[in-house]
């Protein structure tokens, strides 16, 4: 959970400190499209993160979830420290790109490790607790505007980076891979075997990886889950990355107040949603194999009107109320994604499967960030963008209800 918190802390700090970062790097002031430049930087992180998420999942499935997590934490913490030293837009792009590489290895490995240890009646609750740490990291990052004012944005990044590097050392000695993970299963399944057909004719790692992807992409329910995971996530990334700036400009808040308002309320609501959704899904599973799907769909039914309301909010109170509803729905959705994946694919494919989900979802999130920045430079009304996001969320409800879980993977 502390690693998950750190994973999202630096992301939200960047959003909350937008004004301070842009003011200290002269390339933004010299540009005619500074918001699009900022959106491109946010998108750059996501595109790199998305690409390497697949490799991160493969490493976790093929080598070790434990070492993948520890190495990822150390690497991204070192880059977090370096981010505080950049002086140009190009350096900032490089820092965020390397951050995307290093952080991409964490989430697939962490959620797969949790799914290995928590089965049946505790899986959604355990994933929900982990995701709650992500929400706490986002809340902490939301105070970045105040940190930038009183401490300095560079000093804040340096401090977080140093803490993460120090924490990675004991973490590597404490974590343990589960005995039933794929690294052990592969002892009885040679690396060259075709995991879909049982063909053991090749020992080429490239063929092995191709077999894994063939197995995943040949499952219609997995493809539905990828689409379901992707469509609402585009709105989620825009809310995380742009809401501090939206509230600051729309309701004339200071940098500190806008960062806190944009994160605190909906992330606290997401913690409540993850706890409630996790317990509800785990208990309902005793009676219905599709319980996790239904609970996730309920969450999406909250997200859709919340997104529409955020885009049309005429007051800060209305915007906060809609963000709270969005957070509740997001918690229901977020705590059940890996558990739903676990009902579709075998344990040895789960980290890779989540990596593929991240690849598609975050790639689209990067384009959403970049396009949203362009629309802001063009003064397109917020309700136009957010109405599209709300429609995508509604479509997602039908997608998740079409998924068919496997009884033997409960």
Cα atoms in the 13 Å half-sphere on the side-chain side of 119? 10
pLDDT in tens, 33-56: 898 899 889 888 888 999 899 999
Identify the pLDDT of residue 408: 64
Catalogue all structural domains in the chain, each as residue range(s) with its CATH number. 2-184+204-409 (1.20.1250.20)
Identify the pLDDT of residue 188: 36
Identify the pLDDT of residue 182: 46
Identify the pLDDT of residue 288: 94
Contact 362, 211 (CB under 8 A): no
Element (H, E) at 59: helix 34-62
Rounded Cα gap, residues 58 and 209, in angstroms: 8
Identify the pLDDT of residue 193: 42
Identify the pLDDT of residue 205: 56
| Nearest alpha-carbon partner for 386 in 303, 309, 301 | 309
Q: How large a percentage of the chain has pLDDT more than 70?
A: 92
Rounded Cα gap, residues 255 and 151, in angstroms: 14
Contact 256, 131 (CB under 8 A): no
Q: Is 104 helix (H, G, I), strand (E, B) or coil?
A: coil
Identify the pLDDT of residue 396: 96
Q: What is the DSSP string of 218-277?
A: T-HHHHHHHHHHHHHHHHHHHHHHHHHHHHHHHH---HHHHHHHHHHHHHHHHHHHHHHH
The answer to whether the Cα torsion of 136, 142, 148, 154 is positive or negative is: positive
Q: Cα-atom radius of gyration of the chain, to the nearest Å?
A: 21
| Nearest alpha-carbon partner for 249 in 31, 18, 39 | 18
pLDDT in tens, 89-124: 999 999 999 999 999 999 999 999 999 998 777 889
Tokens of 213: 């992807």
Rounded Cα gap, residues 209 and 365, in angstroms: 25
Rounded Cα gap, residues 105 and 115, in angstroms: 16
Identify the pLDDT of residue 180: 64
Contact 205, 86 (CB under 8 A): no
Mean pLDDT by 10 residues, the chain (410 residues): 91 86 92 88 88 91 92 96 94 94 93 88 90 91 85 93 95 88 42 42 56 88 96 89 89 88 92 95 93 97 95 94 96 95 90 92 87 85 90 95 84
Angle of helix 350-377 relative to helix 205-217, nearest 10 degrees, comes to 70
pTM for the whole thing? 0.79
Tokens of 88: 């140009």
């Amino acid at each position: 959970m502390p690693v998950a918190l750190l994973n999202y802390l630096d992301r939200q700090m960047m959003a909350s400190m937008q004004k301070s970062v842009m003011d200290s790097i002269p390339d933004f002031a010299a540009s005619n499209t500074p918001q699009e430049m900022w959106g491109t930087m946010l998108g750059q992180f996501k595109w790199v993160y998305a690409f390497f998420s697949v490799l991160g999942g493969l490493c976790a499935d093929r080598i070790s979830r434990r070492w993948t997590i520890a190495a990822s934490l150390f690497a991204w913490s070192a880059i977090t420290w370096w981010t505080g030293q950049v002086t140009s837009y190009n350096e900032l792009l490089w820092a965020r790109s390397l951050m995307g590489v290093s952080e991409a290895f964490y989430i697939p490995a962490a959620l797969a490790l949790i799914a290995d240890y928590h089965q049946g009646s505790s899986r959604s609750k355990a994933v929900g607790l982990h995701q709650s740490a992500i929400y706490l990291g986002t809340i902490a990052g939301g105070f970045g505007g105040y940190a930038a004012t009183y401490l300095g944005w560079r000093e804040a990044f340096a401090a977080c980076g140093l803490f993460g590097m120090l924490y990675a050392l004991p973490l590597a000695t404490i974590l343990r891979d589960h005995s039933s993970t794929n690294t052990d299963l592969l002892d009885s399944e040679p690396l060259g075997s075709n995991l879909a057909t049982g063909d053991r004719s090749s020992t080429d790692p490239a063929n092995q990886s191709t077999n894994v992807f063939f197995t995943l992409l040949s499952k219609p329910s997995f493809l539905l889950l990828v689409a379901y995971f992707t469509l609402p996530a585009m709105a989620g990334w825009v809310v995380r990355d742009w809401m501090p700036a939206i509230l600051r400009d729309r309701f004339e808040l200071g940098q500190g107040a806008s960062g806190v308002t944009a994160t605190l309320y909906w992330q606290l609501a997401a913690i409540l949603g993850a706890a409630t959704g996790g317990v509800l899904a785990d208990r309902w599973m005793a009676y219905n194999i599709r319980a996790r799907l239904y609970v996730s769909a309920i969450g999406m039914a909250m997200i859709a009107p919340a997104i529409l309301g955020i885009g049309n909010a005429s007051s800060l109170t209305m915007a906060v109320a809609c963000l709270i509803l969005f957070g509740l729905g997001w918690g229901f959705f977020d705590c059940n994604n890996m558990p739903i994946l676990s009902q579709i694919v075998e344990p040895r494919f789960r980290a890779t499967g989540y990596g593929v989900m991240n690849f598609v979802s975050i790639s689209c999130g990067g384009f959403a960030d970049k396009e949203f920045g362009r629309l802001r430079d063009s003064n397109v009304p917020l309700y136009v963008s957010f109405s599209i996001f709300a429609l995508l969320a509604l479509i997602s409800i039908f997608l998740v209800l079409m998924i068919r879980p496997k009884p033997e993977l409960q």
